[in-house]
Chain A
């Protein structure tokens, strides 16, 4: 194999249907646990979509979420331990404001007043952080149980900006040494409140084989 061919084969991660299914299942169960926790917090029924799994070059990530110019809240948790992964939650502004108003009695923040993150008061911000923390914690715990490994989620970080700008940070964290990334996505929706969001799970490509080993599948190479 010459260098050129080698480089090209490195760009490809061909996952078998069984591997894709297992990643989807991890995403389903992880996001299921997070959504159940949110459902209890909000005391509302939440619908969730089927989980999708994509293997894409790093620069295509923003496309997977639609418009790069849409302003959203992003809550990002790095998870360390025997696996390195990211859990990202994305919410439209209106959904986060509804969440804050619903979880804090007597508060009625107007979505139109929030133009940048610092327009939110500390109390509202702490609600977002707490919800983010609980949900990514549930997601990570479910993954840890399934893989029978230890995972330690960091305290999440929050941003409000256009999607493209938020994705810069996510891509920088996942693509430092590799050009491909794996995106496991689940959408959720509280119809009653017209509140929706996306849960993403991004395993580090470098430790991907460990995931397959942990769930008794062959690695991808």
Chain B
């Protein structure tokens, strides 16, 4: 499938040069030809039990981020292709790898960062956040992709900024006043 036609890809920047990624969506950017200071920042505000998966190839200068909701896709009755593969961790990882390599990244150069998977409600017995993180890790491991940083778990939400200029990532946890650089 042609990447351009995917409805779950966000590419529109706001006036601060940010691309905000809703749940079940992804952003993908080749910055090798960018001049000046027009590198977009991928952002997610209010990440709770969801997981942000970031992939980048520093050499090819290609960057991707997705916003994953659930660990796995169970509905076996569905035969048509998934409308939002980035919604499910067991689909999202491979899908994002395919997208980023098709854009020109080399799989052996890919590095991953995972953020999120918090337990927001106090007594939730099933911990979807943790399941999300575990599934993303497992799928990355299968593809032999190195996780260079992870900020996961806990009981508070997070805001994330990923600067495609230098692959620096900033995280602000609910209750804290500042963003903190994690890579």
Which residues of A come within 8 Å of B, CB atoms? 3-4, 6-7, 10-11, 58-60, 62, 68-69, 71, 74, 76, 115-117, 155, 157-159, 161-169, 171-172, 175-177, 179
CB-contact partner of B121 in A68, A158, A163, A177, under 8 A: A158
Contact status A165-B23, CB under 8 Å = no
Contact status B174-A116, CB under 8 Å = yes
In the complex the two chains form, what is the Cα distance from A157 to B79 in whole Å? Answer: 35
Given contacts A158-B122, A169-B49, 9 further A-B contacts (CB under 8 A): A59-B25, A69-B46, A158-B123, A162-B159, A164-B48, A165-B47, A166-B48, A171-B23, A175-B70
Write out the residue numbers on chain B whose beta carbons fall within 8 Å of the beta carbon of A163: 46
Write 21 A-B pairs (CB below 8 A) sorted by A numbering: A58-B23, A58-B24, A59-B22, A68-B46, A69-B159, A116-B156, A158-B123, A162-B46, A164-B157, A165-B46, A165-B47, A166-B120, A166-B157, A168-B50, A168-B120, A168-B157, A169-B48, A171-B69, A175-B70, A177-B75, A179-B83
**B33 at the binding interface (Cβ < 8 Å):** no
Contact status B174-A172, CB under 8 Å = no
Across the two chains, which residue of chain A brings its CB closest to B78? Answer: A177
Digitize B75-118: 1 where CB-to-A-CB distance is under 8 Å, 0 elsewhere: 10001110110010000000000000000000000000000001
* Given known A-B contacts A58-B23, A169-B124, A179-B84, A161 and B45 have beta carbons under 8 A apart: no
Contact status A60-B157, CB under 8 Å = no
Which residues of B come within 8 Å of A, CB atoms? 22-25, 45-50, 69-70, 74-75, 79-81, 83-84, 87, 118, 120-124, 128, 155-159, 174-175
* Given known A-B contacts A3-B80, A11-B83, A58-B23, A164 and B45 have beta carbons under 8 A apart: yes
Contact status B48-A161, CB under 8 Å = yes
Minimum CB–CB distance for B111 against chain A, Å: 25
In the complex the two chains form, what is the Cα distance from A81 to B95 in whole Å? Answer: 37
Write out the residue numbers on chain B whose beta carbons fall within 8 Å of the beta carbon of A60: 22
Write out the residue numbers on chain B whose beta carbons fall within 8 Å of the beta carbon of A169: 48-49, 120-121, 124, 128
In the complex the two chains form, what is the Cα distance from A171 to B123 in whole Å? Answer: 17
In the complex the two chains form, what is the Cα distance from A6 to B77 in whole Å? Answer: 13
Write out the residue numbers on chain A whose beta carbons fall within 8 Å of the beta carbon of B156: 116, 161, 165
Minimum CB–CB distance for A186 against chain B, Å: 22
CB-contact partner of A3 in B49, B79, B122, under 8 A: B79
Contact status B128-A76, CB under 8 Å = no
In the complex the two chains form, what is the Cα distance from A3 to B118 in whole Å? Answer: 37
CB-contact partner of B45 in A74, A162, A166, under 8 A: A162
Write out the residue numbers on chain A whose beta carbons fall within 8 Å of the beta carbon of B23: 58-59, 168, 171
Write out the residue numbers on chain A whose beta carbons fall within 8 Å of the beta carbon of B46: 62, 68-69, 161-168
Contact status B123-A168, CB under 8 Å = no
In the complex the two chains form, what is the Cα distance from A58 to B159 in whole Å? Answer: 20
Contact status A162-B24, CB under 8 Å = no
Contact status A175-B157, CB under 8 Å = no
Across the two chains, which residue of chain B brings its CB closest to A5? Answer: B80
Minimum CB–CB distance for B45 against chain A, Å: 5
In the complex the two chains form, what is the Cα distance from A6 to B174 in whole Å? Answer: 41
Write out the residue numbers on chain A whose beta carbons fall within 8 Å of the beta carbon of B155: 116-117
Across the two chains, which residue of chain A brings its CB closest to B47? Answer: A165
Write out the residue numbers on chain A whose beta carbons fall within 8 Å of the beta carbon of B50: 168, 172
Write out the residue numbers on chain A whose beta carbons fall within 8 Å of the beta carbon of B79: 3
Across the two chains, which residue of chain A brings its CB closest to B24? Answer: A59
Contact status B174-A165, CB under 8 Å = yes
Write out the residue numbers on chain B whose beta carbons fall within 8 Å of the beta carbon of A179: 24, 83-84, 87
CB-contact partner of B80 in A6, A68, A155, A177, under 8 A: A6
Contact status B45-A172, CB under 8 Å = no
